Amino acid sequence: MDIAIVGCGDVAGQYAPAIAAHNALRVSAVADLDADRTEALGRTHDVPSYTTLSDLLSNESVGLVLNLTSHAAHAEVTQTAIEAGVGVYSEKPLALDAAEAQALVEAADDRGVVLGCAPYPIEGDAQKLTWRLLADGRLGTVRWGYATTHIGRLTEWHDNPESILQVGALYDGAVYPLSVLTAYFGPVTHVEAAHDARLEADPGDDWAPDQTVAVLAFADGSRIQLSASTYVPHQTKQFNTLELHGDDGSLFLENTGETEAPADPAVEFARLGTGYTPVRQQADPSPVGRAAPVAALAAAARGERPVPDSLDPRRAAHVVAVLEAIEACADGAGPVSVDGPSFSSPATPPTVPAPADRLSSMPPIGFGCSRFRDGTYVDLTSSIETALDAGCRLLDMAELYGNEAEIGDLLDAPGRPDRDALYLVSKVWNTNHAPKHLRAAFDATLDRLGVDRLDCYMLHWPDAWAHRGPLGELKDRPTDEAEALTFPTDEEGDIIEADVPLSDSWAAMESLVEEGRTTHLGVSNVGRPELRELLSLADIPPAIVQIERHPYLPQSDLVAFCREHDIAVMAHSPLSAEGLLTEPVLHEIAENHEIAPAQVVLRWNVERGVVPIPSSTTPSHVIENLDVFRFALSEADLQRIDELADPECEPR
C-alpha cells in the first residue's frame, strides 16, 4: 500500500526506512511545512515532496496517511486526510482535546476510513508476558500500582524539544503506560487526585508543567499512581516502569513502551514475602518495529482484516480524555470523571505461543520434578517454586517421585498460575499397569495434586512389574519400604514382572482420555520397537514420548520416527550426562553467545524440536535454564553439538 508521510522530522527518519523495507508498504509521497526537510526525505526515498497535505492529496493516490507532525498539529492533519477519504495512522496523541479526539473517531466512522493511533506497546513481548501473568491470576486482585513516564530534561538530549515541552510528559509519555493499563484493566473511570508543578528554575513561558502525579481509578477497581515528568533525568531507573501489586503478589515491567529490544530482565514477579524473580519468555522474541502498526492498519484499509483492537482509535480518544481529566483535577476540580466512547480490549495473548509442530498447549521447556540425584533424594520444593515464579508452565511429575502432594500444595498457594495456565504431566509406575491399579494410581495422582485433570498421563516405562500395593506419597515412607513397593524383587534380587499385556494397560489409559480426565497420553523410556508395538494396538496413540536425550545421546532415529508419527518428544535428563557440561565445544559456543553451557544444550533441544525438562536444586540455575529464548544457535553451532553424539552411550 502507498503510504504518504506527513511530518518529516526526526521520527520520520525512524518510520520511513521501516516502511520502505516492508514487503506490503511503500513510501509514495512526503509533506512538511519545512520545504528543506520534505525535499530531503523525498530525495532519500525518490518520491514527490510537498509543503501541504492538501497539495499532496490533490496530486497523489494515497492508501494511508502517516501523521508524524508535531503534537499540536495531529488533529488538524488527521481531519484533513479523513475529509479527503484517506485513512490515517497518527503518532501519539490523537489530539490535545478530548472532544476533538472523539470527533476524529466519529468522522472516520462516517467516512468509512480506517483510523489508528500510536503507541502500539501492548503488542510487545514484555507487555504481553505481563498481561499473561495477570490473566493467569498470579497477583490475585490488583489493587494498586505505580506507573512512571519520566522522559527527562529534553533540552539536554533532544534536538528539537520545544513541541514536547509545550505539551509536557503527559501527552508525550503517559500515553505509553495508559495504553498498556487500559488493555490490562479496562477504561479509567475517574481521576481521584492529581498535582502538577513546574520544577525547572527557568521554564519557558509556554511550557507545560514538568512534573505531574495522579491517582487513576480503573473500571476493574484497581488504582494506579501515575507520575509523568520532564524534570526527572532521562533513563533513570524509573523511566517507563510499571509496578503492580495484588493480594497475592507483585509484578514489575521495566519499560511499558519498549517493543523491539526489551531490557533483561524485562518482567519480574514476586510472591508475597519474597523478592523479585526474573520471568523468562517462553518463545523466541517477536520485535515490533515502526512498520508493524502501519502494516496492520493498511491491511484493515484493504479489507483484509478489521482494525486490530490494539489500534482502536476509541482507546486513543479515551487516553486523551484521561489526560484532560488529570489536568482538570490538578487545576483544582477535585475528583474528575472520565467520559468517552467504549473501546474493545485486545484478546489476552495465549499463555504459551506454540509452533505448528508442537502440541498446541505444551510449553517449549519444562521442569523435571524427580527427587533422585546421584544416589540420594533431594527436596525440590524451593526449586519448583522458583521455576513457577520464573515463568515455567510445564511440570513433569510421577507417582514414583513421591512429591505430588507437595507439588499440589505449591500449586494451591497464593501467587501460583491458574490451572489452565499450566501443563501438568504425571506418570504411572511399572507396578500399577493392571487396569484397576492404573486407574487407582491416576485417581491418587489427581487427589495429591488437587486437580481434576492432567494434560498428559504417561506410562513411566512400557514394562509391567508385580503390584505390591498403592505407592502413596513415597517421600513420606522410609527408603527401604519405598523401594520394596516400587522395585519388587525375588530372592535372587531380580525384578518380578507382571503378566499384564501392554494392550490392557493402554486401553485403561485410553479410557481416561475418553472420560476427559487427561488430554493427552504418553510413554516414557521407550525405544522404536516398543513404540511400534504400542502404535499398532492403540486406538488413541501417544501424543508425547519422553526419552533421555542430550548431545551424547541424541536418539535422532527415534526422534525422527516420532516426528513421522506426529508424536512430540520430551527430553528428560538433558543436562545430567557425566562430563557433558564441561565439554569444550559447549563452553566455546556458550562463550560466543555469553551464556552458560547448560543453556546451549537446552537451546539445542528446542531448536531440534524437542521439549527439554531440566531440573536443578540451585535457584539461579533454575532461572538460567528457562532463559533460552533470547538467543539462537547457528546451524554451525547445532552441527558441532550434533557431532558430540557417542555411539556407545546407552539410555540409563
The mean predicted confidence, pLDDT, of the chain is 94
Residue 55: predicted pLDDT: 97
Alpha-helical segments (H) within 515-634: 528-537, 556-564, 584-593, 597-607, 619-626
**Domains along the sequence of the chain with CATH:** 2-116+291-295 (3.40.50.720), 117-289+296-350 (3.30.360.10), 367-642 (3.20.20.100)
Residue 356: predicted pLDDT: 43
The model's confidence at residue 62, banded by pLDDT at 50, 70 and 90, is very high
Residue 352: predicted pLDDT: 57
3-state secondary structure at position 88: strand
Q: pLDDT tens digits for 149-163?
A: 998 887 777 777 788
How far is Cα 87 from Cα 301, in angstroms, rounded to an integer? 7
Rounded to two decimals, the pTM is 0.93
Q: pLDDT tens digits for 376-387?
A: 889 999 999 999
DSSP secondary structure string for all residues of 241-269:
-EEEEESSEEEEESBSS--SS--SSSEEE
Q: pLDDT tens digits for 74-85?
A: 999 999 999 999
Q: pLDDT tens digits for 449-467?
A: 999 999 999 999 999 999 9
Residue 358: predicted pLDDT: 47
How far is Cα 4 from Cα 26, in angstroms, rounded to an integer? 9
Residue 465: predicted pLDDT: 98
Residue 16: predicted pLDDT: 97
Alpha carbon of 400 to those of 381, 418, 431, 432, 502: distances in Å? 16, 25, 10, 11, 19
Q: pLDDT tens digits for 484-502?
A: 999 999 999 999 999 999 9
Residues designated catalytic: 401
